[in-house]
Amino acid sequence: MNLTTGYPYFLIQSGLPYAYPKLRGSLSTEVVIIGGGISGALTAFNLTESGIPCVLLDERSIGLGSTCASTSLLQYELDTPLCELSLQIGGKNAERAYILSSEAINTLERISRQLDFKSFQRQQSLLFAAYKKDKNLIGREFEARQKAGFEVSLLDEKQIAEMYGFSSPAAILSKQAAITDVYRFTHALLQFSIKKGLQVFDRTSVTKITYFKKSVELGIGPEINIKSRFVVNATGYEITEFIDKKIVSLVSTYAIASEPLEKSSFLENTLLWNTADPYLYMRMTNDKRVIVGGRDEEFYNPQKRDRLIRPKSIQLEQDFKKLFPETDFKMEFSWTGTFGITKDALPYIGTYDKTPHTFYALGFGGNGITFSLIAAELIRDLIRGKTNKDLELFKFDR
C-alpha cells in the first residue's frame, strides 16, 4: 500500500540511518512482529526487555511506511474530545482512555532517557476554538478534563492574544504534551533491542500465514518460513490485507515544514491545534522550523491524494499566516500521508477471533504514537499470560 508521498521532514533530515538485512533462511522464534514502524518497534522493545525472543519483519525498509510521515506530536487528547467521547462510550471509559494516553507520554519519556534519545521534548498543548460557535465546546471540554484530574487552564480571548499573539474566542492550555522524532525513535528502539537479541529483517514480505493448534507458520516466499508461538500484527493502515472486518476509514492528510525561523517563537514550548474538522495543528522542530498539518480528505486514492499536495500545501501556509501574519514563514518541505480514523477515536488492540495466536497493535488516529505504547504494554502482558482490564476499551467487538 502506498502510504506517503512528497518530502517528509524527518525522513529528509535523517535519511536511512541504519541498514537491516533481508531474511535469507528459515528460522523459529517465540514471537514474530509484522510491521517495522513505531508500533512494531515499541512492541519489540517491550518484549525484548521482558526476555521474550522475537523477530521483526517489514516489507519496506524500516520506518518508511506511515511512521516517516508522522509529525511526531505526543498528546493525551484524542481526536474526539473527552466530553463527547464520554457520551459515546461512557464517562469512566473515556476518562480511562485519556489517562492511559497521558501515562503513555510519561513512559515514552522514560524510554527515551533509557535509550539516551535526545529528541524527546516536553511541551504544553493549546487547543483553541476555530470558530465562535466552538466556545461552548471548549468550556464543556475544560470541565470534563478538569473533572478527570488533568492540569488544564481555560483561556479567554484576551489571554490568548497576550500569550500567543493570535485571536480565538477560547482555548484550553494543557501541561501534559511532548514532541519527538518518531522516525529516528523507531530506529533507536530497534538498535537498542537488537543488542538484547531482537532480530530485524526488512524488505521481507509475509506471503502466507498458516495457523496450527499451538503455533503459527509464516511463509516468506516459496522456500523460507518462520515458525513461532505468537504473531503480533503491527501493520497499521495495511490491516485490510490481514482481516476482513471493517474497523478503520482511511484518510489522506497533508503537512508542510518551513525554513528555520530567524526569531524565537512561543511554538518552541507549545504545540497548537484547533477545533475545526479536520483540525489544524502546528509545532516547532529542534532546528526552529514550523510544521503545520491538516486539511485532511476522507479518501484513500494515491493518485488523487498526491495531486493535492501543492494546493493543500498552499492552504496550510495560508492557515498559518492567517494566525501569525507577521511571522516570516517560508515553506520548504511538503508531504502527504495516509492514516485511519475509527468510530470512537480509539485503537484496536488484542485478539481477533479469525486469526489464532495473533495479537494486534493498531494505533489508528492522531494519537498513533501513544496508542502504540499502550498496545505494546498490553500485548506484552497477554503474551506473558497476564490479564489487563484495559483491553476491554480496545477490543475488536466493542
Percent of the chain with pLDDT over 90: 86
pLDDT in tens, 256-286: 999 999 887 888 999 999 999 999 999 999 9
The confidence score (pLDDT) of residue 300 equals 66
Query: In 3D, which of 230, 226, 222, 218 has the Cα closest to residue 199?
Result: 226
Burial class (CB in 10 A: 0-12, 13-18, 19+), 157: middle
Query: In 3D, which of 293, 294, 255 has the Cα closest to residue 278?
Result: 294
pLDDT in tens, 215-261: 999 999 889 999 999 999 999 867 766 777 788 888 899 999 999 99
**pTM for the predicted model, two decimal places:** 0.95
146 — pLDDT class (breaks 50, 70, 90): very high
pLDDT in tens, 337-372: 888 889 999 999 999 999 999 999 998 878 999 999
Cα separation, 304 vs 298, whole angstroms = 11
The confidence score (pLDDT) of residue 273 equals 97
Cell of 245: 472486518
Cell of 92: 469512566
The residue among 126 and 242 whose pLDDT is bigger is 126
The residue among 108 and 245 whose pLDDT is bigger is 108
Residue showing cell 529528509: 12
Residue 10 · residue 68 · CB < 8 Å: yes
pLDDT in tens, 188-214: 999 999 999 999 999 999 999 999 999
pLDDT in tens, 170-189: 999 999 999 999 999 999 99
Cell of 380: 506484552
Cα separation, 266 vs 283, whole angstroms = 10
What's 187-245 look like in SS3?
A: HHHHHHHHCCCCEEECCCCCCEEEECCCCEEEEECCCEEEEEEEEEECCHHHHHHCCCC
Q: Which helix (H) or strand (E) holds 144?
A: helix 135-147
The confidence score (pLDDT) of residue 1 equals 65
Question: Which domains are delineated in the chain?
Answer: 4-69+183-246+345-394 (3.50.50.60), 122-177+248-341 (3.30.9.10)
For residue 64, the tally of other CB atoms under 10 A from its CB is: 20
The confidence score (pLDDT) of residue 241 equals 66
Cα separation, 113 vs 118, whole angstroms = 8
Share the mean pLDDT of the chain: 94
The confidence score (pLDDT) of residue 2 equals 64
Cell of 192: 537498542
Q: Is 295 helix (H, G, I), strand (E, B) or coil?
A: strand
pLDDT at 298 over 90: no
